[in-house]
Structure 1
Amino acid sequence: MQQKQVLLLTKPIKEKAIKELYYKELPSIATICIADLGCSSAELNNLSVVSELIHSIEKARRDLGNGRQQDYQVYLNDLPSNDFNTIFGSLSSFEINLKQEMGDDFGHCFVNGVPGSFYGRLFPNKHLHFVHSSYSLMWLSQVPKGIQDNKGNIYIARTTPPNVLKAYYDQFEKDFSTFLRCRSEEVITGGMMVLTILGRKSDEQYTKESCYEWELFANALNDMVFEEEKLNTFNIPQYTPSATELGLIIEKEGSFTLDQTHVSEVNWEANENQKNKSVNHYDFVKCMRSVIEPLLISHFGDTVIEELFDKYMDIVRVSMAQEKNVFINVTISLTRKE
Structure 2
Amino acid sequence: MREEDSGSIRFIPSSLSDGEEGDKHGNGGKTDMYPFIGAFSMTGGDGENSYASNSILQRKVIEKARPVRVKSTKEMLIGLDFPPCVKVADLGCSSGQNTFLVMSEIVNTINALCQERGRDPPEVDCCLNDLPDNDFNTTFKFAHFFCKTGKGLCFVSGVPGSFYSRLFPSKSLHFVNSSYSLHWLSEVPRGLKGNKGSVFMTGSSPRTVYEAYLNQFRKDFSLFLRSRSEEMICDGRMVLTLIGRNARDPLYRDCCHFWTLLSKSLLDLVHGGIVREEEVDSFNVPFYDPDEGEVTEIIRNEGSFKIGELETHEFDLGQSRDEGDYMLGRDKSGEREANCIRAVSEPMLVAHFGQDIIDTLFTKYAHHVSQHSDCLRKSTVTLVLSLIRK
- Which TM-score band applies after superposition, normalised by the shorter structure? over 0.9
Q: Following the alignment from structure 1 to structure 2, what is the Cα–Cα distance between the partners of residues 272 and 89?
A: 27
C-alpha displacement of 1:216? 1.4
C-alpha displacement of 1:145? 0.2
Q: Following the alignment from structure 1 to structure 2, what is the Cα–Cα distance between the partners of residues 217 and 234?
A: 11
Alignment of 1:145-160 (within 5 A): 145-160=190-205
Q: Following the alignment from structure 2 to structure 1, what is the Cα–Cα distance between the partners of residues 244 and 181?
A: 11
The residue identity in structure 1 corresponding to 2:84 is A
The residue identity in structure 1 corresponding to 2:210 is L
**1:235 to 2:288 alignment:** no
The structure 2 residue matched to 1:123, chosen from 162, 165, 168, is: 168
Alignment of 1:219-258 (within 5 A): 219-224=264-269, 225=273, 226-258=275-307
C-alpha displacement of 1:318? 0.6
**1:91 to 2:136 alignment:** no
- Give 1:24's aligned residue: 79
The residue identity in structure 2 corresponding to 1:41 is S
C-alpha displacement of 1:326? 7.7
1:222-246 per-position Cα deviation (integer Å, ceiling 9, x unaligned): 1113223211110011000111110
Q: Following the alignment from structure 2 to structure 1, what is the Cα–Cα distance between the partners of residues 242 and 255?
A: 11
Q: Quick check: 53-62 or 115-124, which moved more?
A: 53-62
Superposed CA RMSD: 1.7
Contact 1:200/1:207 (CA < 8 Å) preserved in 2?
Answer: no
The structure 1 residue matched to 2:130, chosen from 58, 78, 85, is: 78
Q: Following the alignment from structure 1 to structure 2, what is the Cα–Cα distance between the partners of residues 316 and 211?
A: 7
C-alpha displacement of 1:201? 2.1
Contact 2:203/2:253 (CA < 8 Å) preserved in 1?
Answer: no
Q: Among all aligned residue pairs of Structure 1 and Structure 2, give the percentage whose two residues are the same amino acid.
A: 40
1:195-242 per-position Cα deviation (integer Å, ceiling 9, x unaligned): 001111214323436982111111111111322321111001100011
- Alignment: residue pair count: 327
The residue identity in structure 2 corresponding to 1:114 is V
The structure 2 residue matched to 1:14, chosen from 55, 58, 69, is: 69
Higher relative contact order (CA 8 A, sep 6+): 2
The residue identity in structure 1 corresponding to 2:265 is A
Q: Following the alignment from structure 2 to structure 1, what is the Cα–Cα distance between the partners of residues 236 and 310?
A: 17
Contact 2:129/2:161 (CA < 8 Å) preserved in 1?
Answer: yes
Counterparts in 2 of 1:188 and 1:322: CA distance versus 1, 3 Å: closer
1:139-163 per-position Cα deviation (integer Å, ceiling 9, x unaligned): 0000000110111111011111011
Question: Normalised by the size of structure 1, how large is the TM-score?
Answer: 0.93
Q: Following the alignment from structure 1 to structure 2, what is the Cα–Cα distance between the partners of residues 69 and 305?
A: 49
Q: Following the alignment from structure 2 to structure 1, what is the Cα–Cα distance between the partners of residues 217 and 169?
A: 25
Counterparts in 2 of 1:218 and 1:201: CA distance versus 1, 3 Å: same
Alignment of 1:160-239 (within 5 A): 160-208=205-253, 212-224=257-269, 225=273, 226-239=275-288
**1:279 to 2:311 alignment:** no
Counterparts in 2 of 1:131 and 1:322: CA distance versus 1, 3 Å: closer
- Give 1:39's aligned residue: 93
Question: Normalised by the size of structure 2, how large is the TM-score?
Answer: 0.81
- Give 1:102's aligned residue: none
Counterparts in 2 of 1:331 and 1:209: CA distance versus 1, 3 Å: farther
Q: Following the alignment from structure 2 to structure 1, what is the Cα–Cα distance between the partners of residues 255 and 143?
A: 35
Unaligned runs of 5+ in 1: 99-105
Runs of 4+ in 1 over 6 A off after TM superposition: none
The structure 2 residue matched to 1:138, chosen from 175, 183, 207, is: 183
- Give 1:64's aligned residue: 117
Counterparts in 2 of 1:203 and 1:65: CA distance versus 1, 3 Å: farther
Counterparts in 2 of 1:314 and 1:64: CA distance versus 1, 3 Å: same
Contact 2:87/2:172 (CA < 8 Å) preserved in 1?
Answer: yes
Unaligned runs of 5+ in 2: 1-55
Counterparts in 2 of 1:192 and 1:69: CA distance versus 1, 3 Å: closer
Q: Following the alignment from structure 1 to structure 2, what is the Cα–Cα distance between the partners of residues 230 and 265?
A: 33
C-alpha displacement of 1:314? 1.0
**1:267 to 2:322 alignment:** no
Q: Following the alignment from structure 1 to structure 2, what is the Cα–Cα distance between the partners of residues 55 and 322?
A: 39
Contact 2:180/2:243 (CA < 8 Å) preserved in 1?
Answer: yes
Contact 1:38/1:133 (CA < 8 Å) preserved in 2?
Answer: yes
